Chain A
Amino acid sequence: MNVRNKILILFAHPVLHKSKVNRQMISAIQDVEDITYHNLYEEYPDFHIDVKREQDLLMEHDIYIWQHPFYWYSSPSIVKEWIDLVLKHGFAYGRTGTALKDKKILSAITAGGRREVYEEGNMNNYTIQQFLAPFRQTAKLCNMVYLPPFVVHGTHLLAQDDIHTAAQDYKKILISLRDQIFSDEEIWSCNYLNDLLELTQK
């Protein structure tokens, strides 16, 4: 199990210059070995996604991360465009579409609301995992493994120190995935991947 996973971050933030948390998360992992930072809005400012290139990138990596702020309970629009165009029939799904089989994928999300508001009966009524159902099912249709999400909650109120901690946590989790530190059971025991760090502390 010494082989390192190669991680591809499919990053989407339409107003990166206004971002607080995502920018720090990115700068935390940007120079880490075997992690590829791929900024969709920067690569395709006019949404003209180069499908071939994207598919090649997917083939070169083992774990994919949709990293973005949580907009209207979903992703910024370019992620949807990317899914529409890149995950083509015959490549990602269908009888001959097995290119992504057994690859791992997860969502890394920043949300303005605190964790409590994403519960039944509270303001947002559903949990993050419930909102992420389309992504989970997309992954499943492509025979990928959809890991628990990494979530930074309450970004509106985060202090500079908290943001820094969140970014460092993100880096640690990504490195642990890259180096296969945690067992599958450990990973699946978490609601959020963030919880893995508590395991190490125990």
Chain B
Amino acid sequence: MHSQDFFFQAIIFLTAAVVSVPIAKRLGLGSALGYLMAGVLIGPYFLKLVGEEGTDIMHFAEFGVVMMLFIIGLEVRPSLLWNMRRSIFGLGGLQMLITTVIIGGISMFFGMNLLQGIAIGLIFSMSSTAIVLQTLAEKGLMKTQAGQGSFSVLLFQDIAVIPILAILPLMANQVGARSVDLHEAVINETTVSALPGWQQVLLIVGLVALIIIGGHFLARFIFRFIAQTGLREIFTASALLLVIGIAVAMDRVGLSPALGTFLAGVVLADNEYRHELETTIEPFKGLLLGLFFIAVGSSINFEILTTQPGTVLGILGILILVKFVVLLFLGRFFKMRTGQEILFSFALAQTGEFAFVLISFSSQNAILPEHVSGIMLIVVALSMLVTPLLLIINDRLVQPLFIRAQKEQEPDEMEEQDNPVLIAGFGRFGVVIGRFLMANGISATVLDSNPSNISFLRKFGFKVYYGDANRTDLLEAAGAANARLIIVAVDDREQINHIVEQVQRKYPHLKIFARAIDVRHSFELNEMNIAGYRRETYDSSVDLAVRVLGELGFNRYQASRAARSFRYHDEIMMKELHDLWHNDKRKYINEVRRYSQQLENILVSEKDHVLHESDNAWDIESRREEIREMYELLAGKSEGEEDKEKNKDR
């Protein structure tokens, strides 16, 4: 491909995405449908901007699915996966089994043989990981019962693809329908598959063990080392290298790359760089998935649709109906809450990207005749196109019926994992705040960009994430949407202001407390209207001064009271200075003069301030005087002259 061509194609795909996705989003259709429609539009039947190469692009873009499973894996801790085992194998297994049997039966009723029936059943029992998870995540439904159920089913299908790819050609052999050389046909054909079975198994086990052990023990050090270079693009590069490397290795030993990266994700779910990995891979995943959907859209063969509309739409209808009913039954059987099982059924009622692989695989193995696989391909593509529409129907028409039921179940459904407090910056300043909060039983999530802090702090049970709090995606990942307040404790004034602005724009509900670098910065923060700020060195300076007073002969309580008075009138003075600063900002333009000017202002106002009233606390001098006078008065009456002389002597 000439680079000129490449860029031209890039322009077509990007334009299609940029134009259609925002429109689809605005219309509430979700991004997946937007991409699919864009693909249809630029495809060979409408604008003819993309031709046959759409299929190649689809294969390339399938890598988006691999990345998505990696990211999903990052969110799934091993313990969670273990807890879901019943749901994955029970729900997922039954879904495949029952759907395959019913669809196989229907196919045989329409004249397919047993093998073809099984193949069609298996192919159509697959759902689309890409569309379903993308859409559910976009709607924030992943943590619901339906979301978890869908995830289990999709994960099982992912695992099941591997044995299916192995078994189908064997069955083709037995039936004797084999007309193509197997070696040419196997899509996952690799050097490894030529090895004897036991060696292959050994290799697979070895690779999986490598991923688990490496991810668990090594990744931490490697990522820390890379993060310490401070070069973001190197971190990005290594994250990509990790995902692509695992995908290729998995492919080599004949396992699903998606499954491999999912496994890697799970292993890394406990890693402190998890969020950084997630936010790094996320945009690649998003773009590739988008590309994938566009390719699917453009691959829909409208010729078949126009020549045999009845057949195509009929199969599509039966397919969705069967899958829907089976899923609904299973949802009830597995005791999903009312409304959830319907969402679950609508979500998974389509056929997914694995079907493309399996269909071409089957036709290459001569299991399915050409015209059947052609029709199946368009049915699969159309079913993916229909899914977002089905979910919209569910949203707008079906779910409102259950809204009341849903409201009641929401609280226990979402397990609150996010901490109420975020601390951005965990250096000298933030760490004291974190300790203090922790001592009072308040857990905080910490964002810090210094990798050496992180591993150490994690040992003490802090939830620490590596990365710049500047970036809203990281804030999002750390749970800003559900937190109550954020403490901005990084040590750079520009960065503090930037974070404050970001948070105010994106999370207006978050109360902001910030570290002020100096007096002028405290004025700036004051103007930003945040919940609270404190000058970083002020309190410790005053505290040290208290010690100094003690050394100079003050009683400790006296010194401590003096500090309180000082703080009190400093606060008043700062207000006055702030007004001054506010009214005459130009005075401060000269940065060199700024500090001395500021200090001068402080010292001038200091002189004007009378000491705080209570500094005379327990001062009984006036009382003593009054009593003395009284006595003198009395004495004067009785002893008169004598007393006066005494006074003279003094």
- Name A's B-contacting residues (CB within 8 A): 46, 48-52, 84-85, 88-90, 94-95
A94 CA / B623 CA spacing, docked (Å): 7
| Shortest Cβ gap from B618 to chain A (Å) | 6
Jot down 5 A-B pairs with beta carbons below 8 A, ordered by A. A48-B565, A50-B614, A52-B613, A85-B617, A95-B626
**B622 interface hit (Cβ, 8 Å):** yes
A73 CA / B565 CA spacing, docked (Å): 32
Contact with A along B591-619 (1 / 0, CB 8 A): 00000000000000000000011101110
Contacts A46-B564, A48-B564, A48-B568 hold; do A89 and B614 have CB atoms under 8 A apart? no
Please name the residue on chain B nearest to A46 by beta carbon: B564
Please name the residue on chain B nearest to A49 by beta carbon: B614
**Which of A51, A85, A88, A94 has the largest number of chain B CB atoms within 10 A?**
A88
Q: Which residues of B contact A49 (CB under 8 A)?
A: 614
B524-583 interface with A by 8 A CB criterion: 561, 564-565, 568
B613 near A94: Cβ-Cβ < 8 Å? no
Q: Which residues of B contact A90 (CB under 8 A)?
A: 622
A48 CA / B614 CA spacing, docked (Å): 8
A88 CA / B623 CA spacing, docked (Å): 9
B613 near A89: Cβ-Cβ < 8 Å? no
Contacts A48-B564, A95-B626 hold; do A89 and B620 have CB atoms under 8 A apart? yes
6 new A-B contacts at CB < 8 Å, known A84-B618, A85-B614, A89-B620: A46-B564, A48-B561, A48-B564, A48-B565, A84-B617, A94-B626
A118 CA / B625 CA spacing, docked (Å): 41
Total of A-B residue pairs, C-beta within 8 Å: 30
A105 CA / B617 CA spacing, docked (Å): 23
The 3 tightest CB contacts between A and B, nearest first, are A51-B613, A89-B623, A48-B564
B622 near A50: Cβ-Cβ < 8 Å? no
Please name the residue on chain A nearest to B616 by beta carbon: A88
| Shortest Cβ gap from A142 to chain B (Å) | 13
- Name B's A-contacting residues (CB within 8 A): 561, 564-565, 568, 612-614, 616-618, 620, 622-623, 626
Q: Which residues of B contact A85 (CB under 8 A)?
A: 614, 617-618
Q: Which residues of B contact A50 (CB under 8 A)?
A: 568, 612-614
Q: Which residues of B contact A94 (CB under 8 A)?
A: 622-623, 626
Contacts A46-B564, A48-B564 hold; do A89 and B622 have CB atoms under 8 A apart? yes
Please name the residue on chain B nearest to A90 by beta carbon: B622
| Shortest Cβ gap from B483 to chain A (Å) | 23
Q: Which residues of A contact B622 (CB under 8 A)?
A: 89-90, 94
| Shortest Cβ gap from B532 to chain A (Å) | 15
Q: Which residues of B contact A48 (CB under 8 A)?
A: 561, 564-565, 568, 614
B interface majority secondary structure: helix
A51 near B614: Cβ-Cβ < 8 Å? yes
A51 CA / B618 CA spacing, docked (Å): 12
| Shortest Cβ gap from B61 to chain A (Å) | 58
| Shortest Cβ gap from A78 to chain B (Å) | 13
Please name the residue on chain A nearest to B624 by beta carbon: A89
A90 CA / B616 CA spacing, docked (Å): 12
A90 CA / B627 CA spacing, docked (Å): 13
A89 near B626: Cβ-Cβ < 8 Å? yes
A84 CA / B613 CA spacing, docked (Å): 13
Q: Which residues of A contact B626 (CB under 8 A)?
A: 89, 94-95
A84 CA / B623 CA spacing, docked (Å): 14
Please name the residue on chain A nearest to B630 by beta carbon: A95
Q: Which residues of B contact A51 (CB under 8 A)?
A: 613-614, 617
Please name the residue on chain A nearest to B615 by beta carbon: A51
A59 CA / B613 CA spacing, docked (Å): 17
| Shortest Cβ gap from A88 to chain B (Å) | 8
Q: Which residues of A contact B613 (CB under 8 A)?
A: 50-52
Please name the residue on chain B nearest to A52 by beta carbon: B613
A88 CA / B618 CA spacing, docked (Å): 8
| Shortest Cβ gap from B561 to chain A (Å) | 8
Please name the residue on chain B nearest to A89 by beta carbon: B623
A85 CA / B616 CA spacing, docked (Å): 8
Q: Which residues of A contact B623 (CB under 8 A)?
A: 89, 94
A35 CA / B620 CA spacing, docked (Å): 33
Q: Which residues of A contact B561 (CB under 8 A)?
A: 48
A51 CA / B617 CA spacing, docked (Å): 9
A116 CA / B479 CA spacing, docked (Å): 58
Please name the residue on chain A nearest to B567 by beta carbon: A48
| Shortest Cβ gap from B238 to chain A (Å) | 50
A94 CA / B568 CA spacing, docked (Å): 29
A101 CA / B620 CA spacing, docked (Å): 21
A119 CA / B622 CA spacing, docked (Å): 41
A46 CA / B557 CA spacing, docked (Å): 13
Q: Which residues of B contact A84 (CB under 8 A)?
A: 617-618
Please name the residue on chain A nearest to B565 by beta carbon: A48
A56 CA / B285 CA spacing, docked (Å): 66
A159 CA / B616 CA spacing, docked (Å): 46
| Shortest Cβ gap from A56 to chain B (Å) | 11
| Shortest Cβ gap from B467 to chain A (Å) | 36
A90 CA / B621 CA spacing, docked (Å): 11
| Shortest Cβ gap from B556 to chain A (Å) | 15
A56 CA / B613 CA spacing, docked (Å): 13
**Which of B565, B568, B617, B620 has the largest number of chain A CB atoms within 10 A?**
B617
| Shortest Cβ gap from A199 to chain B (Å) | 41
**Which of B614, B616, B618 has the largest number of chain A CB atoms within 10 A?**
B614
A52 CA / B561 CA spacing, docked (Å): 16
Please name the residue on chain B nearest to A53 by beta carbon: B613
A9 CA / B3 CA spacing, docked (Å): 82
Q: Which residues of A contact B616 (CB under 8 A)?
A: 88
| Shortest Cβ gap from B285 to chain A (Å) | 48
**Which of A48, A49, A90 has the largest number of chain B CB atoms within 10 A?**
A48
A52 CA / B617 CA spacing, docked (Å): 12
Q: Which residues of A contact B620 (CB under 8 A)?
A: 89
Please name the residue on chain B nearest to A55 by beta carbon: B613
| Shortest Cβ gap from A59 to chain B (Å) | 14
| Shortest Cβ gap from B284 to chain A (Å) | 51
A50 CA / B568 CA spacing, docked (Å): 9
A70 CA / B313 CA spacing, docked (Å): 83
Q: Which residues of A contact B568 (CB under 8 A)?
A: 48, 50
A94 CA / B624 CA spacing, docked (Å): 10
A49 CA / B565 CA spacing, docked (Å): 10
| Shortest Cβ gap from A177 to chain B (Å) | 30
Please name the residue on chain B nearest to A48 by beta carbon: B564
Please name the residue on chain A nearest to B621 by beta carbon: A89
A50 CA / B571 CA spacing, docked (Å): 13
A85 CA / B612 CA spacing, docked (Å): 12
A49 CA / B612 CA spacing, docked (Å): 10
Q: Which residues of A contact B614 (CB under 8 A)?
A: 48-51, 85
A181 CA / B616 CA spacing, docked (Å): 41
A50 CA / B564 CA spacing, docked (Å): 11
A89 CA / B626 CA spacing, docked (Å): 10
Please name the residue on chain A nearest to B629 by beta carbon: A95
| Shortest Cβ gap from B313 to chain A (Å) | 67
A95 CA / B628 CA spacing, docked (Å): 13
A94 CA / B620 CA spacing, docked (Å): 11
**Which of B568, B612, B620, B622 has the largest number of chain A CB atoms within 10 A?**
B622
Please name the residue on chain A nearest to B613 by beta carbon: A51
